[in-house]
Amino acid sequence: MDIVYINGLFTPLCNAKVSIQDRGFCYGDGLFETLRASKGKIFRLEEHVDRLFKSLPHIFIDLPMTRLELVMVVQDTLARNKYNEAIIRLTVTRGDTQSNIQVDSDIPPTLVVNIRAFTPLPKEAYKKGIKIKLFQERANLTSGLDKRLKSCNYLSNILIKKLSNEKGFMDGIVVDPDFGVTEGTTSNVFIVREGVLKTPPVSPYVLKGITRQVVLEIAREHKIPFLEERITVEDLLKADEVFITNTGIEIVPVTQIDSQTIGNKKPGILTGFIHDEFLKCVEAEKNPC
């Protein structure tokens, strides 16, 4: 039986409920983190929790617990669910309040930790690569913020994912007319051109993904030249290699964008190397020295 943590209590998933007046339900007013557990060890848990705590003040939510307390809650919830391989969803909303958009700082936030079994992508996705679709439109952003947050308001991402899947693509990438290539619906984007790794810089249009950060750490460690700079559609289509990253899919090679094949039509050597090194990072966290 799956166990969920809600506001200090553990309850079976079948009994887990939040109010219809919760701001997360009414407005998508909150933030979330998606984490991966492998063999009972949560990958980069502290980094996910740190990103959440740094983001909450930007939307005026004060979570009444410390980082360490939240880490312990997540670990406890995972332990109660008995999953060796799991996806963890950590959600914080503005809480249960009247249905208007005014912020009431006296209302305590809602905290939910939900665990589900991890279902990996088919191995073919890593062997043959995936197809992604470009959406040339204004990137979705939150007004007044200088960086992208993992907001619960995910409608734009959901629609792009749906439209992509309907046409046989695994994901969609938004290309902003001013900023250029931004990110996927749930992923960061990387290209390789003449041995140089490139990814769009963190901005109001691009999330500072945890897996993205691990990829850059791998590049530094192995002296792979990399740049965080604007990427155009032309850069994307002329790249030798393209891959996308996130917590659940890790590093997935892209071999087709719209109707155009990428590189030599199969996953690139550097993409494969980075994925192998990423898996070593996961293994190292499971078995610390």
pLDDT reported for residue 273? 98
What is the chain's mean pLDDT, rounded? 94
Q: Average the pLDDT over each of 135-139, 169-173, 253-257 and give the range with the smallest value.
A: 135-139
Specify the pTM: 0.94
Cα distance between residue 187 and residue 199, in whole Å: 12
Q: Give me the number of domains the chain comprises.
A: 2
pLDDT band at residue 289, thresholds of 50, 70 and 90?
very low
- Same domain for 62 and 171, yes or no, is no
Q: What is the DSSP letter of 121?
A: P
Confidence (pLDDT) at 143: 64
For residue 22, the domain's CATH number is 3.30.470.10
pLDDT at 203: 93
Q: Domain range for residue 86?
A: 3-117
> Rounded to whole angstroms, how far apart are CA atoms 152 and 29?
6
Q: Angle 168-170-176 (CA atoms, 0-180°, nearest 5)?
A: 105
- Asked whether residue 146 carries a pLDDT value surpassing 70, the answer given is no
Angstrom distance (rounded) from CA 243 to CA 245: 7
pLDDT for the residue numbered 140: 77
- Strands 9-12 and 3-6, by their bridges, are antiparallel
pLDDT value at 288 more than 60: no
- The answer to whether 118 and 248 are in contact (CB under 8 A) is yes
Q: pLDDT band for position 11 (50/70/90)?
A: very high
Q: At what angle do helices 45-55 and 210-221 cross, to 10 degrees?
A: 120
Give residue 101's pLDDT band: very low, low, confident or very high (50, 70, 90).
confident
- The residue among 71, 89, 117 that closes a domain is 117
pLDDT, tens only, 190-233: 999 999 999 999 999 999 999 999 999 999 999 999 999 999 99
Looking at 97, 117, 137, the residue that finishes a domain is: 117
**Distance (Å) of CA 185 to CA 90, 150, 167, 175, 203:** 18, 11, 15, 12, 15
Q: State residue 286's pLDDT score.
A: 64
Residues 97 and 76 grouped into a single domain: yes
Asked if 105 and 129 sit in the same domain, the reply is no
Is 45 in the same domain as 133?
no
For residues 265-285, average pLDDT: 94
Q: Tell me phi and psi for residue 21, to 5 degrees.
A: -95, 5
Q: Is the pLDDT of residue 95 over 70?
A: yes
Active-site option among 17, 54, 147, 150: 150
User: Would residue 150 show up in a list of annotated catalytic residues for this protein?
Assistant: yes
